[in-house]
Amino acid sequence: MRKTSSDKSKTGVSRRSVLKGTAAVAGVAAATQLSGGFPTVWSQDIKDLTLRSTGGPWSHFQLLENMANEDLDFTVQLTPVGLDEIQKRGLTQTGSSDLFEPAYLQMKFFWPTGKFQPWDTTKLPEWDTVVDLYKAPGKIWPDAWFGQGQNPSTVSYTSGPDGTDFVEPGSTQWLTAHPVLHNADTLGIRPDLIGRPIDSWAELINPEFAGKAALVSFPTIGLMDAATAFEAAGELTYGDKGNMTQDEIDYSVDRLIQLKNDGHWRALWSAFNESVQLMVNGEVVIQSMWSPAVTAVRAQGVPCVYQDLKEGYRSWTTGHVMPSHLEGKMIGAAYDYVTWYHTGRVGAMFAKQGYYVVTPDNTRKVLPEAEWDFWYEGKPATVDIYDPFGNLMEKPGTIRDGGSYKNRMGRVAIWNSTMDENKYLTRRWAEFIAA
Amino acid sequence: MVRVITSVLRYRAALQISPLSLALLFFLVGPVIMIMIMSFYEFTGFMTVPDATLENYVELFTSSLTGINYLQTLKMVGITWVVTLVLGFTLAYFLVFDLIELRTKLLLFLLCVVPFWTSSVIRMVAWVPFLGKEGIINKFVLWTGISSEPLQFLLFSEFAVFLSYIQIFTLFMMAPLFNVMARINRDLIEAARDNGASGIQILWHVIIPLCKPGIAIGTIFVVSLVASDFAAVSLLGGQRVGTVSISMIIQMNMAQYPPSSATGVILLLVVLLIVGGIMRVVDVRKQL
C-alpha cells in the first residue's frame, strides 16, 4: 500500500518536472527568438549532429543523456571518466570530445594550453541567472566567505576570443569555462563508532582516531584537508592554505609523515568506492569524503554523517570547456546544450543528488517546493525524498547534513586549488607516500 | 632456381610475421618512442612545453625520493621473486614428477589457471573482506582471543600487497617451470640414481640446471609485472607504500607528464637491464 502511494507521488513529481522543464526550454527558445540571432541561427540543420561530452561519473550518466536527447534537436553523448582521466583526455586527446567538464582546480592546466575556446557571455541567455560566485567579486552572496585558494571567479575570465590568460572577473565577455555544478565538501564520520560530537577539522588528526582516519590521495586536496586540520588544531596559521609557500608545504608534509609513522592514517583512497568501503567496513571513522560517497554508505544501512564543521567547508566546482576544434554548427550545439543545462530541469535533477547547478533560481522553478525546502533551505523533509533514479533517500523529518545552501556555500573556507608550488608539492606528497 | 625459392620463402616469412610486427610497431614501439620524446619536454609547473631539456632526468637523479622508490620497488620484486620461485618450483615439481597420470597432471594444472578467469584487479579486491578490520581473519582472531584488537597489518600494508602478488604471480613462475620440467629426459634422472646420487643431489645437479630456462622466463614475468604494478599497491597497500609506479601515478594525476615520462623511461631501462642480464646468464632461446 505504501509502495503504491509513494510510486504515485514519484511519477507525479517527475511528470510535473518534465512539463515545467519543457515549458522552461520553450520559454528560453522564445526569448532568444525575440532577442534575435542566437541560438536559433544555429538551431537549423543540426539534427544530425552529435555533441560528445567527457566528464566525471557524478555528472555524466544515462539519465542526463536521456533528458538531453528528449529536449534537444541534436544527439548528446556523455562519457563518464575519473577526474584524473578528464584531465589526461582533455590535455592529450582534446579531439576525442566536444566538451570537457573538468573541475576548476584543473583550469590552470587546461586553459593556458590554447586548446580551448572561450564562451561569449553575450550569447548565453542564462548567464544573468548564474550565481555571482563566478563574477566579480567572487562571492555567491554579499555576506558569503570569499575563501582561501583558487576562488572560481579568478579563473573564470580570459582576455579575448584567443585568450590563454586569466583576467579580472567581469572585465571581459569571455568565459574560460561555463560553470556547471558546485558543492561543499567536509569530513565524513561514523557517528556510531565515535560516539561524541565532532565540530572541528582538528579531529582529523586527533590521536584518538589513530589507525582509523583516512585522507584522499589526490595531492592538493589531501594536503588542503590536512592543512585545514593543522590550522584548526592551532599548530600553524597558513597565509593561504590553497596556495601554500614551500615552507608551509614542508611543515604540512613533515607532519603528515610523522602522523603516518605513528600509524594515524589507515589508508589513502583514490577512488570514490574505496572511500565508501573504508567507511562501511569500519576501517575508518573519520576521513575526507565526497558527498555521494556518504549517501552510498548510508544506502548500505551504515550510519554516516557529512559533518558540518565550524571552520567551514572545502568547496569545488566544475565547468564545461569547449575545445578549439569546434566550428560553426557544433559551436551552436554546444551553446544550445549549456543553455538547456541551466533552464531548471537539469538543476532539479542534480538537486536530488545533493549537488547544486549554478542557476538555483531556475532550479527552483522546476523542483517541487517540499524538495527545495529540504535540499536548499535545510528544512526537515516533509515528504519522502527520492534521488533522481527513484531510490528512497530520506524519510520525512530528516534534515540534510550541513543544512542549507547558504550555510554550505556561504561558508567556504577553502577552494579546491592548484597551487603555484604545484611541482614542489607533488614531489613532497610522493615522499609522504613513500615514507 | 634454388635461390628464387629461398628468396620467395624469405619474402613469405616476412609477410607472415608482418601483422604481429605492425601491431607491435604501432602499439608498443610507437608509444614507447612517444614517451621517450615526452621525457625531454619541459614542464613549467602547469604546462608541458615541447623542448629538448635534460631537466626531468637531472631532477630524477638528484632527488632522494628516486632512491627510496627504487629500493621499495626492488624489495617488492625481490621478495615476490623468491617466494613465487619456491612455490612455483615446488608446485611444478609435484605436478611433473610426483603425479603419474597425465590426465591428473593436466587437470591440476588447469585448476591453477581457473582464478585467471577473473581480472587481476578483482582478485586483489577480493582480499579486502578477508583481511579487513571486520574481515574473516580478524573475526577469527578476536573470537579465539589470539589478540584483543583486530590485526591492522593484514590490510593496507606491504603484507597485503605481497599476498596478492604471490597469489597472482606464482602461476607465471610455475607455468614455464612446468613446461621445462615436463621435457626433462627421465633417463638422466635414472642415470644419476644408478651412479649413486641422492635425491637432493639429483635435484641440485640435474633438475635445477635443466630448469634454468623456465626459471629465467618466470623471472622475467615476475620482475616486469611487479615493477610495473600499481593496482595492488594502491588498492591493498592503501597507497601507503611508495613504489616507482606510484610516484608516476601521482605525477600523472597532477598533469606532470614530462617528469612522469622520464620516470617511466628509467624504469623501463632498469627492467630491460635485469631482463638482459638474465638472457646473458641463461640462453632462453636455445632451450625453448
Residue A409 has pLDDT above 90, yes or no: yes
The band of B2, judged by pLDDT with boundaries at 50, 70 and 90, is: low
Q: Which of B234, B241, B259 sits opposite A270 (nearest CB)?
A: B234
Q: Domain B56-287 is of which CATH architecture?
A: Orthogonal Bundle (1.10)
Residue A81 has pLDDT above 60, yes or no: yes
Q: Which of B240, B253, B259 sits opposite A84 (nearest CB)?
A: B253
All structural domains of chain A: 2-184+317-367 (3.40.190.10), 187-311+404-434 (3.40.190.10)
Q: Which residues of B touch A91 (CB under 8 A)?
A: 48, 255, 257
Cell (9 digits) for A290: 565526497
Residue A12 has pLDDT above 50, yes or no: no
Percent of chain A's residues with pLDDT above 70: 90
The band of A14, judged by pLDDT with boundaries at 50, 70 and 90, is: very low
To the nearest 10°, the Cα dihedral for B65, B71, B74, B76?
A: -90
Note the pLDDT of residue B287.
Answer: 59
Asked if A91 lies within 8 A of B48 by C-beta distance, the reply is yes
Asked if A283 lies within 8 A of B132 by C-beta distance, the reply is yes
Looking at every residue in chain B, the average pLDDT score rounds to 89
Note the pLDDT of residue A44.
Answer: 56
Searching chain A, which residue's CA lies closest to the CA of residue B254?
A: A426
Cell (9 digits) for B207: 633438475
Asked if A434 lies within 8 A of B253 by C-beta distance, the reply is no
Q: How far is B47 from chain A (nearest CA, A)?
A: 6
Q: Are A266 and B154 in contact (CB under 8 A)?
A: no
Note the pLDDT of residue B286.
Answer: 62
Task: Provide mean pLDDT across the span A122-147.
Answer: 94
Residue A360 has pLDDT above 70, yes or no: yes
Q: Which residue has the cell 592543512?
A: A227
Residue A34 has pLDDT above 50, yes or no: no
Q: Tell me: the pLDDT tens digits for B228-275?
A: 998 899 889 888 888 999 999 888 888 889 999 999 999 999 999 999
Cα–Cα distance measured from residue A413 to residue A430, given in angstroms and rounded to the nearest whole number: 26
* Chain B interface residues (partner A, CB cutoff 8 A): 43, 45-48, 63, 65, 68-69, 72, 128-129, 132-135, 152, 155-156, 234-235, 238-242, 246-247, 250-257, 259
* CA terminus-to-terminus distance, chain A: 58
Q: Are B104 and B190 in contact (CB under 8 A)?
A: no
Residue B28 has pLDDT above 90, yes or no: yes
Residue A22 has pLDDT above 60, yes or no: no
Q: Where are the alpha helices (DSSP H) in A36-175?
A: 40-43, 62-71, 83-92, 107-110
Break chain B into its structural domains and give their ranges.
Answer: 56-287
pTM of the model: 0.82
Searching chain B, which residue's CA lies closest to the CA of residue A114?
A: B47
The band of B1, judged by pLDDT with boundaries at 50, 70 and 90, is: low
- Residue A7 CB neighbours (<10 A): 11
Asked if B69 lies within 8 A of A434 by C-beta distance, the reply is yes
Note the pLDDT of residue A9.
Answer: 41
Task: Provide mean pLDDT across the span A408-420.
Answer: 95
- Residue B282 CB neighbours (<10 A): 17
The residues near A134 (Cβ < 8 Å, ≥ 6 apart) are A152, A153, A156, A169, A175, A179, A358
Asked if B242 lies within 8 A of A430 by C-beta distance, the reply is yes
The band of A383, judged by pLDDT with boundaries at 50, 70 and 90, is: very high
Q: Where are the alpha helices (DSSP H) in chain B?
A: 2-24, 30-38, 55-62, 64-93, 102-113, 120-125, 128-131, 136-144, 158-182, 186-194, 199-202, 208-228, 231-235, 244-253, 257-281, 284-287
Asked if B239 lies within 8 A of A270 by C-beta distance, the reply is yes
Q: Tell me: the pLDDT tens digits for B178-227?
A: 999 998 998 999 999 999 989 899 999 999 999 999 999 999 999 999 99
Task: Provide mean pLDDT across the span B3-15.
Answer: 75
Cα–Cα distance measured from residue A92 to residue A10, given in angstroms and rounded to the nearest whole number: 43
Looking at every residue in chain A, the average pLDDT score rounds to 88
Residue of A76, A69, A68, A70 lying closest to A50 (CA atoms): A76
> What residues pair up with A318 in beta bridges, in sequence order?
A103, A181
Note the pLDDT of residue A68.
Answer: 96
* Chain A interface residues (partner B, CB cutoff 8 A): 84, 87-88, 91-92, 106, 108-109, 112-113, 211, 217-220, 260, 263, 265-270, 274, 277, 281-283, 418, 420, 422-423, 426-427, 429-431, 433-435
More confident residue, A40 or A364: A364
Q: Tell me: the pLDDT tens digits for A274-296?
A: 899 999 989 999 999 988 889 88
Q: What is the DSSP letter of A167?
A: B
The band of A158, judged by pLDDT with boundaries at 50, 70 and 90, is: very high
Q: Tell me: the pLDDT tens digits for A172-206?
A: 999 999 999 999 999 999 999 999 999 999 999 99
